[in-house]
Copies of this chain bind each other. A is one copy, B any other.
Amino acid sequence: MDIRSTFIKLDEKFSRFGGLEPRGITRLLYTDEWKAAVNALIEEFDNNGLEVVQDSIGNVSGKLVGVNSDETILTGSHIDTVVEGGHLDGQYGILAGLTAILYLKEKYGQPKKNIEVLALAEEEGSRFPIAFWGSKNFFNIQDNEIVKGLTDSEGVNFVDAMRQSGFDFRTDDSVRNDIKAWIEIHIEQGQVLEKEQKQIGVVTGIVGFKRYYINLKGEANHAGTTPMGYRKDVVVSFSEIVQRLNQKAKEIGDPLVITFGKVNLVPNVTNVVPGEIEFSVDTRHIDEKELNHFSKIVEDTIQEVATKNGLEATITLHLDEQPTLMNEEIIKTIEDSAKEVTSGNYKFMVSGAGHDTQIFSQFVPSGMLFVSSIGGLSHNVEEDTDIEDLVKGIEVLAKALYKLAY
């Protein structure tokens, strides 16, 4: 069996669910496109002799049953996409897992432990304002009460959409105890591997992040009649905050990042000194202590600049996610596999984006690996990865699964 042609065929087939052209794949939870992809996966597993495992909310997996069927090595990713996404985010993790299993099955026959590839129903939070619906249901930690109140952008209720699609809340409380390891392969969605010309990223952890919404209130004044000394200009204070925190983040160094992605001025007209600004601060680090330390600097700097300039600052911590460290043994297994397959052309790195793996790592030994994203692009129809790198990724995954299951 040829990994490259098998993967290409699968990728072409599944990229049609939600359409790729002209603006990308839109395959949102419990839509027709999503359901068609799930059904095609079930058929694919079945046709390839994998045992199909389903739950009531739409997670589905294909299992190559091992000699000892009480222990499972699990791989996979999510089958939903963002609106107008690319063909690799999530989908690659599922199809790479399936390809790896078919390869291992043909080459080595029945494994000692089960090897199972899982398509999680939802990770992106693109249709309803909730993420990790798939992985949280897998471990029975979802909050059914919260989703009952959710509607999508067209006003469709979450529960109605789920039921119309043929699915429903879980009715059992069981959690599988056969999972001995989880490995997710994903595109990097950043430029590090490409810029450093590495084929594989061995993920050591997923960063934690804090997201703030900041409001500064100064005084709106006429841009012509208000001398500089009489102003309470929120844009000038915002700029000082950005300059100081950006400088400080660079001094502290990688993997710390800070982003001011959203800025809204009031009244936002050319001839008025702006009297109010709202902006977001997103800061991430893999080390919880470092993240807390820098977040304190963020809060203190904003307060200090506001006070100095006579502004009123409101600092709201909107999201606060802890960092997730990967399992040492799984990291080692992936590293050994990457070393063999790529002749050492890999690097350890952290994931700056969230992934299903952060849910899995709470329950089972977990690991992740990345392949390079061309131009760092993702969540976009232009998202792509060189086929050589996609194949190397599957080879590393297959080797890691082999080490764990045979």
Q: Residues on A close to B: CB < 8 A?
A: 188-192, 195, 207, 209, 211, 221-230, 233, 235-236, 238-240, 242-243, 246, 249-250, 254-265, 268-274, 280, 282, 284, 351-354, 376, 378-379
Contacts and interface: CB of A to CB of B under 8 A. Distances in A.
Contact of A225 (B189, B227, B238, B264): B189
B238 A224 contact: no
A191 B353 contact: no
A270 to B, nearest CB: 4
A280 B284 contact: no
Contact of A223 (B225, B259, B272): B259
22 contacts: A188-B225, A189-B225, A190-B226, A191-B221, A222-B352, A224-B282, A227-B257, A233-B259, A236-B246, A238-B239, A239-B242, A243-B243, A259-B271, A261-B269, A261-B270, A261-B274, A262-B268, A263-B263, A263-B268, A264-B268, A270-B280, A270-B282
Given A242-B236, A280-B270, A257 B192 contact: no
B263 A271 contact: no
Q: Copies of this chain, how many? A: 2
B224 A284 contact: yes
Contacts of A270: 211, 259, 261-262, 280, 282
A229 B376 CA distance: 14
Nearest to A212: B270
Contacts of A282: 223-224, 270-271
Given A225-B352, A240-B243, A282-B223, A263 B261 contact: no
A383 to B, nearest CB: 11
A243 B239 contact: yes
Contact of A228 (B191, B223, B256, B265): B256
A224 B353 contact: yes
A53 B11 CA distance: 82
A102 to B, nearest CB: 30
Contacts of A351: 224-225
Contact of A376 (B209, B221, B239, B255): B221
8 tightest A-B contacts by CB?
A190-B225, A224-B352, A239-B242, A239-B239, A223-B259, A225-B352, A270-B280, A224-B353
Given A221-B376, A270-B280, A227 B255 contact: yes
B261 A272 contact: yes
A228 B254 CA distance: 7
Nearest to A230: B191
A22 B242 CA distance: 39
A47 to B, nearest CB: 36
A13 to B, nearest CB: 28
Contact of A209 (B207, B224, B230, B239): B224
A260 B263 CA distance: 13
A250 B225 contact: no
A222 B89 CA distance: 14
Contacts of A284: 223-224
Contacts of A211: 270-271
A376 B232 CA distance: 13
